[in-house]
C-alpha cells in the first residue's frame, strides 16, 4: 500500500470543534471532569489539550487514567438476571479521552475513505450512510430481481457479544494491512490493553454486591 498512516497530529481548531460539540448533559468519567465544565472553558483549554493529545499520539501511549472507567452492568431485559452474560457493560470513561478518541477516529476514517479501503457494502459507522439507507437499497435490489422473476435467498446472522469477541491481535493485524501503522497503531494497541475477561470479572463482582 502506497499511502500509509504512521502519525496523527491535531490542531487547536480540531480540539475546539470537538469541545464545541460536547453533550453537556452527559455524566463525568472517573476523573470527575464534567463535560459542561470542559465546554464552558473550551476556549482556554483547547491549546493545552492539543499539546497533551499530540504528546500522547507522538509517543503512541495514553495516560493510565484514560483507561479507567466507571462500569455499570445494564440488564438486557432477557434471560436470567443472575447470569452475567445477560448484562451489557456500560462504561463511563474520561471525557477528555473521548475527545481524543473522536479526533483519532476522524483521522482514521479520512485515511480509509481517501484510499477506498472500506467495502461499498458497509453502511454502519460511515458518514452519509445508515441502516435505513441500506434497507432501502436492499429492498430496491430485491424488487428488481422479483420483477424479473428471479428468486431471492437471504441469510441473517446475529453474533452474540460481537464487540466483546473481536480478537485484538487480529484487529491490529487488519489495521496494519490497511496502512494504519507506526505510532498510530501503537496508540491503538495501548488503548486496547483491556482484557475482556476482566469485564466479566467486574460484572460478576457488581452482581454480587447487588
pLDDT tens digits for range 138-190: 999 999 999 999 999 999 888 877 777 888 889 999 999 999 999 999 999 99
Residue range 92-130, pLDDT digits in tens: 899 999 999 999 999 999 999 999 999 988 888 888 888
H/E element holding 180?
Answer: none
Q: How does residue 34 score in pLDDT terms, banded at 50, 70 and 90?
A: very high
User: How far is Cα 11 from Cα 113, in angstroms, rounded to an integer?
Assistant: 21
H/E element holding 14?
Answer: helix 12-20
The pLDDT score that the predictor gives to residue 194 is 54
Residues 6+ positions from 24 with CB-CB distance below 8 Å: 35, 36, 39
The pLDDT score that the predictor gives to residue 2 is 57
Checking if the pLDDT of 39 tops 60, the result is yes
Q: How does residue 208 score in pLDDT terms, banded at 50, 70 and 90?
A: low
Tally DSSP H helices, then E strands, for the chain: 8, 2
Q: How does residue 73 score in pLDDT terms, banded at 50, 70 and 90?
A: confident
Q: How does residue 196 score in pLDDT terms, banded at 50, 70 and 90?
A: very low
The pLDDT score that the predictor gives to residue 126 is 87
**Bigger pLDDT: 140 vs 91:** 140
Q: How does residue 1 score in pLDDT terms, banded at 50, 70 and 90?
A: low
Residue ranges of E strands in the chain: 69-75, 87-93
Residue range 50-59, pLDDT digits in tens: 999 999 999 9
Q: Return the C-alpha cell found at 34.
A: 464534567
Are the C-beta atoms of residues 175 and 44 closer than 8 Å to each other?
no
**Percent above pLDDT 90 for the chain:** 60
Amino acid at each position: 500500500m502506497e499511502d500509509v498512516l504512521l502519525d496523527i497530529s491535531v490542531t487547536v481548531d480540531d480540539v475546539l470543534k470537538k469541545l464545541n460539540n460536547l453533550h453537556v448533559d452527559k455524566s463525568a468519567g472517573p476523573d470527575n471532569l464534567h463535560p459542561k465544565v470542559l465546554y464552558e472553558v473550551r476556549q482556554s483549554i483547547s491549546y493545552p489539550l492539543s499539546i497533551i493529545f499530540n504528546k500522547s499520539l507522538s509517543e503512541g501511549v495514553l495516560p493510565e487514567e484514560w483507561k479507567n472507567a466507571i462500569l455499570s452492568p445494564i440488564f438486557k431485559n432477557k434471560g436470567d438476571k443472575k447470569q452475567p452474560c445477560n448484562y451489557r457493560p456500560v462504561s463511563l470513561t474520561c471525557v477528555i479521552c473521548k475527545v481524543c478518541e473522536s479526533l483519532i477516529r476522524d483521522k482514521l476514517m479520512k485515511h480509509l475513505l481517501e484510499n477506498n479501503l472500506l467495502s461499498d457494502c458497509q453502511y454502519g459507522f460511515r458518514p452519509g450512510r445508515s441502516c435505513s439507507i441500506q434497507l432501502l437499497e436492499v429492498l430496491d435490489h430485491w424488487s428488481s430481481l422479483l420483477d424479473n422473476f428471479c428468486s431471492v435467498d437471504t441469510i441473517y446472522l446475529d453474533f452474540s457479544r460481537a464487540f466483546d469477541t473481536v480478537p485484538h491481535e487480529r484487529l491490529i493485524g487488519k489495521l496494519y494491512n490497511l496502512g494504519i501503522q507506526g505510532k498510530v497503531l501503537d496508540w491503538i494497541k495501548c488503548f486496547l490493553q483491556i482484557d475482556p475477561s476482566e469485564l466479566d470479572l467486574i460484572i460478576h463482582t457488581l452482581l454480587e454486591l447487588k
